Amino acid sequence: MSKSLFLKIVSDVEAYDEWFQEGLDGRMKKSFTPLQKVTSAIKQLATGNPPDEGDEYLNMSERTSRECLEYFCETVCKRYGGEFLRRPTSHDIALLYQAHEDRHHLPGMLGSLDCTHFVWRMCPTELRGQYMRGDHQYPTVMLEAVASQDLWIWHAFCGPAGSQNDINVLQQSPLFLAQRNGTAPNCPFQVNNHLYKRGYYLTDGIYPTWSVFVKSFPYPHDPNEKKFKRQHEAARKDVERAFGVLKSKWGILNRPMRSKTVRKIRSIVYTCLILHNMIIKDDGRAIAPVHIQDPPVEPVFDDTAYTELIDEDTHWRLKHDLVEHLGSLDLPHLEVDSDEE
C-alpha cells in the first residue's frame, strides 16, 4: 500500500466516523490520533498478530487495539464497499469482455469462480460440528469469490459453514440475484456467430452445467478440446492467484481467526477484499478503475431468468462454440504435442 493511499484512508475514516477523531479521555488528556488507530488496525490485518502486540511499544492496550480493528473494518465496509465490492456495471462488463478476450482468448468471460476456507480458531464448541469437514482438521468459514484477470474481486460471499461444498454455497449465494430480479445490465456477446444473453464464469468440475458456467473437459480426445482445456485451466488460475495474494498480503486471513462471531469474521474478510481492490486501483493495474453507475432499474422478479440460468443446452452449445473459436486461432503456446495426441 502506497503512502498516499494510506493517508487517504486515514483522512476518509476520520471524516466518516467520529470514533477515529482525536479527543479527550476520562483524564482530560488527548487520546490516540487517527493515524495511530488506523495504523494499529492495518497492522493487525497485515500480520495477523494478537491485539496486545503494541502494549509496551505503543502503550496501546489490548482492548483499544481490538476496538481499532472492529471500528476500522465496519467503517471501511460502509465507506468503500459500494465502489470496491460493487457488482459489475455495463461499463465494467464491456471492459472485462475486452480484457479477457485479449488475454485469454475467451470472449464473454466475466471472471473465475471458486471458494476458499479460513480457519476459525475461536469457534464455539456447540458449532464445531457444523463448521468442520472431514478434509479439514479445524473449523472453517468459507468465502465464495469471483476474480478477473487483474485479480480484482468482483463478488464475495463470506460466512457459510466449512462443512459445506461449493454447490451448497452457490445455492445460498446472491451471485445471480440481480439476474433474477431484473436489475442486471444487459450485456450480450457473440461467439462463433451465435449470440448469448449473459457472460459466463470459469469454474471447476464440481459446479453444475448451467448456461453461465464453463467447465473444462475431464478427458479430452479432440485436439481442439485439448487446446480448450489448456486455455481454460490457465485462465481459471486467476481466482486461485487472487486467493494466494490475499492470504499472503493479509496475514490475518492466513492464520486462525480469533473472532468469536461469524459477523466479525465476515467484516474482516470484506475489509481485506476492499483494501486489496483499492491497492490494485492505486497501482494502475485495474481493468475497470472508474466506477460508472448504470441508471437505476426497478426490481421485478422474473421466473424465466432462473430457467435461462440453469439451461444445460445453452451450456453445451456455448462450450462447443468456445472450442471451435479457440481451434480457429493460431496460438502456438496451445498447440497439442504429437505424443499427447
User: What average pLDDT does the segment 66-88 reach?
Assistant: 95
How much is the pLDDT for 333?
A: 59
CA-CA distance, 248 to 11, in Å (whole number)?
27
Instruction: Quick: pLDDT tens for 287-330.
Output: 999 999 999 889 888 888 999 999 999 999 999 999 999 988 87
- CB neighbours of 314 closer than 8 A, spacing ≥ 6? 196, 211, 308
* Confidence at 334, pLDDT banded by 50, 70, 90: low
**Location of C-alpha cell 474481486:** 153
Of 288, 298, 254, 279, nearest in space to 80 by CA: 279
Residue 44 grid cell: 493487525
Could you give the C-alpha distances from 225 to 197, 231, 317, 320, 330, in angstroms and in order? 24, 10, 14, 9, 15
Of 123, 165, 117, 113, nearest in space to 142 by CA: 117
Instruction: Kindly tell me the burial class for residue 238, based on how many C-beta atoms sit within 10 Å of its own C-beta (0-12, 13-18, 19 or more).
Output: buried
CA-CA distance, 340 to 135, in Å (whole number)?
33
Q: What SS3 class is residue 339?
A: coil
Specify the higher pLDDT residue, 12 or 337: 12
User: What average pLDDT does the segment 118-137 reach?
Assistant: 90
CA-CA distance, 243 to 241, in Å (whole number)?
5
Q: Is the pLDDT of residue 35 over 60?
A: yes
User: What average pLDDT does the segment 113-141 reach?
Assistant: 92
Q: Is the pLDDT of residue 340 over 60?
A: no
DSSP state, residue 290: S
Q: Is the pLDDT of residue 338 over 60?
A: no
* Confidence at 133, pLDDT banded by 50, 70, 90: confident
* Confidence at 249, pLDDT banded by 50, 70, 90: very high
**Location of C-alpha cell 424465466:** 304
The whole-chain average pLDDT of the chain stands at: 91
CA-CA distance, 91 to 294, in Å (whole number)?
8
Helix (H) or strand (E) holding 166: helix 166-172
Query: Out of 1-10, 46-55, 309-318, which region has the weakest mean confidence (pLDDT)?
Result: 46-55
How much is the pLDDT for 332?
A: 66
Q: Is the pLDDT of residue 116 over 60?
A: yes
How much is the pLDDT for 324?
A: 93
Specify the higher pLDDT residue, 24 or 242: 242
Instruction: Give me the helix-helix angle, 262-283 and 34-47, nearest 10°.
Output: 100
Instruction: Quick: pLDDT tens for 263-291.
Output: 999 999 999 999 999 999 999 999 999 99
pTM above 0.85, yes or no: yes
* Confidence at 341, pLDDT banded by 50, 70, 90: very low
Instruction: Quick: pLDDT tens for 174-226.
Output: 999 999 998 999 999 999 899 999 999 999 989 999 999 999 998 888 889 99
CA-CA distance, 28 to 194, in Å (whole number)?
72
User: What average pLDDT does the segment 93-102 reach?
Assistant: 95
How much is the pLDDT for 26?
A: 75
Specify the higher pLDDT residue, 335 or 338: 335
User: What average pLDDT does the segment 158-185 reach?
Assistant: 93
